Structure 1
Amino acid sequence: MSGTLLEDSILEGLDDEQRTVASTLSGPLCVLAGAGTGKTRAITHRIAYGVHTGVYKPQQVLAVTFTARAAAEMRTRLRDLGAGGVQARTFHAAALRQLQYFWPQAVGGPLPALVDHKAQLIAESARRLRLSTDRAAIRDVAAEIEWAKVSMLTPDAYAAAAAGRAEPAGMDLITVSRIFSAYEDLKIDRNLIDFEDVLLTTVAILEDDEKVAATVRSQYRHFVVDEYQDVSPLQQRLLDLWLGERRELCVVGDASQTIYSFTGATSRHLLDFTKRYEGAQVVKLVRDYRSTPQVVRAANTLLAARSSEADRRATGTTWSAPLELIAQRPAGPEPVFTECSDDEAEAAECARRIGVLLDQGVKASEIAILYRTNGQSEAYEQALASAGIGYQLRGGERFFQRREVRDALLQLRAAARTQGDEDVPQQVRDVLASLGYTTVAPQNSGAVREKWESLAALVGLADELNRVRGPEAFTLQSFVAELEERAAAQHAPTVQGVTLASLHSAKGLEWDAVFLVGLSEGLMPISFADTQEAVDEERRLLYVGITRARVHLAMSWSTSRSPGGRASRKPSRFLDALRPATAGQATFRQPRAKANRKASAPAVCRVCRRPLLTGSERKIGRCAECPASYEEETFEALRAWRLVEAREKDVPAFVVFTDATLVAIAEARPQSLDELGELAGIGSSKLERYGEAVLEIISDNS
């Protein structure tokens, strides 16, 4: 393909605004890009267009983003567009590479070792100061130290600058400052640096050594920064030093997706870009190609409601005018709003709806359950496991650390040395067949199914790359190289299974169906959001959650925490503008009958007849204070059986049955499947899967 044709092909398929971004090759350029508007496509095509027209030299372009996964995805797209020499890295990765190169000449000696986790050093620092801390306190102090460092605060300056911030772990700011100081001293004594030091030290070297700064500026002449609303003052300082006096900068961001303020991120740099760079061009991307008009309407309404509230209440707080998205997809279903009696009922209803979607042909990998705090995941893990639905925890075991994936990479690497390059996807299938891959998914659940899903994800990736790059360019060796690069960046291919994730960790991802759960006051907004700015951030967090959905969007909440508990919870204030209403009252979808029965007839202890307040008590059938009535041998036999089942399926023991359910079985001693099915915690899928085995254990221990 000739140069002109190739350049034209890079711009093909872009809308007018994206094409403006891609063809504007000199900065400063500010791209305000709403969720789902194709910002990554626009900026990667801009870089590729600049390379193919000769305006950019690939080695002189640095694209910076905020996660290793996003950087790996950007590198893949650039390589597919013929701009593989461009560097796409996170701020930390780019700074660490420069630090490793320049440290010997700028400082001398070997670079200090990098601390992966602060917890141990912070705990030791607290002990030296004779302060008692638990794991949660150490975690909170670590987060506060990270905030201080990215805000470029020393231990001495921290207390004054942090005035008005929430006190981490209930400690006063002076105490935190002392731990901070002791932590820094410990690192110096042991010749260690942490991730924030990577940025701080790189900044210091660039500021102090003009030779080093000149070398970096001659290497990189064009900069692109994605997710610019999330930069911290320290990252902005590093970017300034990379640029020097030049203006060849393109930034991309959306102030309405600023959700990391607690880490030091601020949208101020994005909002003030045109003030800092006079004459900067601004392009707005508002055509949403991700979501249906129904989902887009909900997202726009959520943000618009904040503006009207501010007008009515005259809060005086700043709120940048949000981008109003324009949906480009065909119409889809309306969002579903569901009120449930308790958390357990909400999780069960969520699992039921997911089962319906699966029956309709929606892939499990295209469904996500998103919640505000990680502690909410357990109820949904159990509900999905009870329904026989596979799931994956985002932030759980990393894909490339799974044994079958490591074995697959070894086999593929060996095959790449000996086999040709005809029909690479079929070669991948042939190689993985020796590890257990089949064209048809196994009916088994647990470890067998999970192993197959890992191998199937590799096959799917081979098919995708073969389609994108073309059979002529796609080789088995290039596939192995792609896997090795993805392994280094933890850029996993798609795995079948419903995704469970916090709203914060869902940023940058999307699914066909999204379930936003736990949308009650105290969780959304979170209880400690006690200022207008904090509540605004919670609103933006919910906006990010809504805009993850392509077609199906469900929002739910429960009126009490535990089955039979007092219905004191209220739905999130953010839902007021979103829910359909009749005569001023919200209209809810009713929870399933099982949840209603629990709410209308609170269970009572079979011994003392007092109400049972917790899920564990309801499962057992008696309150915790009353004595147990089961035979120890029966309970231990059930536990031993559960352990064998869990190991065979390679799942945690509670996924088979929780301890509370085993106690309930041992005490009730059911004699039939019907009696067993009456016990709490035993749904139809578990009854079918384990019922006969449980009854046999009960019979053997009569």
Structure 2
Amino acid sequence: MMQDFKPRPKQAEILAYERGYMGIAAVPGSGKTWTLSRLAVEIIRSNLLADGQEVLIVTLVNSAVDNFSARIGEFIQGEQLMPKIGYRVRTLHGLAHDIVRRRPDLLNLDENFQIVDEPDSVGIVEDAARSWLRQHPNALDHYLIEDVYENEQKKENLYRSKIHEHVREVSWNFIQLAKDNGLSFGRLSQRLEEVRDSLPLAAMCIDIYGVYQRALEYRGAVDFSDLIRMADQALSLDESYLAYYRDLWPYILEDEAQDSSVMQERILEKLAGVGGNWVRVGDPNQAIFETFTTADPELLRNFIADKAGFQRELPNSGRSTEGIIRLANELIRWVMEEHPVEDARIALSPPPIEPTPPGDPQPNPPDDETYIYFDDQERSLGEELEFVANDAGAWIEAHPESTLAVLVPAAWIGQNLVEQLEARDLPYTDTLLKITYSTRKTVGAMTHVLNHLANPKDARRLANAYKAWRRDKQDDADTWPVIERIAKEIAKLPSVEDFVWPGPAMDALDGLLATLEDDDLSDELEEFRRIVRRWQGAVLLPVDQLILTIGQDLFRQASELALVHKVALDLRRSRIQNEEWSLNDTANELKMIATRKRRGNYTGFGEDDREFEPQKYAGKICVATMHKAKGLEWDRVHLVGVSNYDFPSGQPYDYYRSRRWFWRDELDLQAEAEAQLDNLLGRTDFDWKEEGEGTKDAEMEYVKERLRLFYVGITRAKKELVVTWNTGNRGDNRPAAAFTALRTYLESDQNDAAL
């Protein structure tokens, strides 16, 4: 053991492990990374491994791989053991890649097979979905609301503007779920032929699945879901290959097991084998990715209850004051005992959080530093964000050495808040948002130029391109009003061509200068005209070269230019997949990126987005989604938008993000497609799901996930917590049921204390 640290009693129980299946339920801030890392070192130093064997640690994301590797490396050095020997840390994707890359012949793969990343995969599915809709133009009419169904023009516009994107989303999720269950296109097609009942959504998704797989095969590539599925398949096809890995990794330690999927559990169980050594640690109360992935927290709960020979807990946490801990535990109790919908009462479960024992090296912050405020003031979203910006700004000014986060339920709300912070000139960081404010502004500037090039006769678009070119002066209080005035006059030009390409008899620049009454602007506008000509001349180049040309004229910072290169590559791939695209289509694709409606990794340009350390941003307001905040902690936390829209409770008056206004009966077509997939696999009539049941099931799962998300948000706070809500776009949102329950608890607790 490390001489300068004595483990807590519950940690010591885990570190005494030698072999078998062990399941660990860990609370937020309980030190599970330290414990699992230390356990790996204990296994190595205790001579439980033969020469050449390793402890395999499987975790969720790349930043966690780095964290585990660094922590184990420190322990190894402290024990004076050989560095980087005896252990391997992998994400599931990294593990699957190791297995498949070593023996691609088992799977009839070329040894130089390629892996298609998620943005490219989504693009292929989108093309397949668009093609399917062209071939089946009325296939989804049955699901439309009557108002749209009876109006051909409205229906046509909707198919073009909304439905094709939704079909892509539904198909993409269907394909990922099918692959996670090991279901190939061929098997699903065969099963569809055997089922006599009509399953139109499943049929649509299977058709698109087939096109998608053929596109991957044409490229000699696999996607990440294929990689995992094929790793499982490889371990089943060759017993000697499985035996090789069982011998190489006699101990498997799994982190964040609450986010495990069916396929991840299947692979690790195969590697461990009957009577093997497998440790799974996680917190089912922090399972918040079901909506976006194929994760299922019940897998860990069932493992602990039914398979683990040893059940352990990590209940002690030194992260928060005891007041914050009591609040989090009250949420668990209320959900389990009093939630208005009985089916939701399994969303949270024991163990409750316990403070650290006396003498612990990580003591809880003093309880007299606790501040908890549930604001019940009725406000619009804009008013809520104004309140939060003012409150957070005042607090961070008074506590420049402390950390503060504003956690939002959706990235676009975070972007709106950032604009409020910008307007107040408050210090902030938004690197944890899906796309940062600076990235959005950079992509937006390129969008304005492309919009001009797509419509070169539109004077207003030329004016926007001019402002994009002068964007570096946006914070100059003296210069920017002049730029705004110039842009306003450019927008009034009767002929853009007479300005950009003047003839001998007519130069619109002369009239522009006369209107502006400032001949000193002549050189600047001449330079702008020269650059616009270069942009127009570059229109005939491949799209990536066009973007690079524009970027060189607009940007100077290294992070901006790196982003330009990524966008250029992404647009080149999109144009290859969409040969019929016009320049206007390309501009719209760029706009989708700028407005966060297109998947892709556009985070962290200019920042290290692999690991975020809140303390590095002391004195700044950190804006993040609640999902991105998992695993992090701040002195003060604001939770925004805790209403019945973002945190529904299964009541008739609740709204759900998954509902699209144009589908009848408030159906969630993604959930209905997944229910039809279940019907394909069902063995008896008892398993059959009627229309609407999939929607109801999905909405209840969402209710449970959002309760866990609220729990995650609360447990990010070390000392102070402020929770607010808003009335939403319709003006009829109300505080979430959990918000009201905890506010009532706080009022009761304060009254008891007064007595």
TM score, norm. by length of structure 1: 0.63
Q: 1:491 to 1:315 in 2, by over 3 A?
A: closer
Aligned to 1:508: 631
Aligned to 2:28: 35
Q: Distance in 1 between matches of 2:423 and 2:608?
A: 35
Aligned to 1:288: 317
Aligned to 1:265: 295
Structure 1 contact 44–77 (Cα < 8 Å) conserved: yes
Does 1:248 find its partner at 2:277?
yes
Structure 1 contact 286–323 (Cα < 8 Å) conserved: yes
CA deviations over 1:127-156 (Å, ceiling 9, x no partner): 332446544543443233223322333346
Q: Aligned residues: percent identity?
A: 22
Q: Distance in 2 between matches of 1:582 and 1:512?
A: 20
Q: 1:269 to 1:130 in 2, by over 3 A?
A: closer
Aligned-residue offset at 1:222:
0.5
Aligned to 2:212: 183
Aligned to 1:150: 180
Q: Distance in 2 between matches of 1:217 and 1:302?
A: 42
Aligned to 2:384: 346
TM score, norm. by length of structure 2: 0.59
Does 1:524 find its partner at 2:647?
yes
Q: Distance in 1 between matches of 2:257 and 2:721?
A: 27
Q: Distance in 2 between matches of 1:239 and 1:552?
A: 40
Counterparts of 1:32-111 in structure 2, within 5 Å, are 32-56=25-49, 59-82=53-76, 84-85=84-85, 86-104=87-105, 107=108, 109-111=110-112
Aligned-residue offset at 1:360:
2.8
Aligned to 1:203: 232
The unaligned stretches of length 5 or more in structure 2 are 77-82, 135-158, 193-198, 357-363, 440-554, 560-606, 649-654, 659-695
SS of match in other structure, 2:23: strand
SS of match in other structure, 1:509: coil
Q: 1:488 to 1:535 in 2, by over 3 A?
A: closer
Aligned to 1:575: 739
Q: 1:540 to 1:90 in 2, by over 3 A?
A: same
Q: Distance in 2 between matches of 1:36 and 1:267?
A: 19
Counterparts of 1:283-432 in structure 2, within 5 Å, are 283-309=312-338, 314-315=342-343, 318=346, 321-328=349-356, 329=364, 330-331=366-367, 332-338=369-375, 339-363=377-401, 366-389=403-426, 390-396=428-434
The unaligned stretches of length 5 or more in structure 1 are 1-6, 163-169, 402-446, 452-486, 588-702
Structure 2 contact 381–728 (Cα < 8 Å) conserved: yes
Aligned to 2:578: none
Q: Distance in 1 between matches of 2:74 and 2:727?
A: 50
Aligned-residue offset at 1:493:
5.6
- Structure 1 window deviating more from structure 2 (498-507 vs 514-523): it is 498-507
Q: Distance in 2 between matches of 1:249 and 1:488?
A: 33
Aligned-residue offset at 1:249:
0.8
Does 1:549 find its partner at 2:717?
yes
Q: Distance in 2 between matches of 1:27 and 1:40?
A: 20
Q: Distance in 2 between matches of 1:513 and 1:448?
A: 36
The aligned length equals 486
Aligned-residue offset at 1:49:
1.9
Structure 1 contact 259–541 (Cα < 8 Å) conserved: yes
Q: Distance in 2 between matches of 1:246 and 1:498?
A: 50
Aligned-residue offset at 1:21:
1.1
Aligned-residue offset at 1:315:
4.3
Q: CA RMSD of the aligned region, Å?
A: 3.6
Q: Distance in 2 between matches of 1:13 and 1:155?
A: 54
Aligned-residue offset at 1:47:
1.2
Q: 1:53 to 1:124 in 2, by over 3 A?
A: same
Aligned-residue offset at 1:51:
1.8
Structure 2 contact 396–404 (Cα < 8 Å) conserved: no
Q: Distance in 2 between matches of 1:378 and 1:93?
A: 32
Structure 1 contact 151–264 (Cα < 8 Å) conserved: no
CA deviations over 1:257-279 (Å, ceiling 9, x no partner): 1222232211222222245536x
CA deviations over 1:39-89 (Å, ceiling 9, x no partner): 111111111122223234685110001111111111110011116332111
Counterparts of 1:110-259 in structure 2, within 5 Å, are 110-116=111-117, 117=119, 118-131=121-134, 134-135=164-165, 137-155=167-185, 172-259=201-288
Q: 1:386 to 1:322 in 2, by over 3 A?
A: same
Match of 1:491 among 601, 611, 616: 611
Q: 1:552 to 1:581 in 2, by over 3 A?
A: closer
Structure 1 contact 301–577 (Cα < 8 Å) conserved: no
Counterparts of 1:608-619 in structure 2, within 5 Å, are none
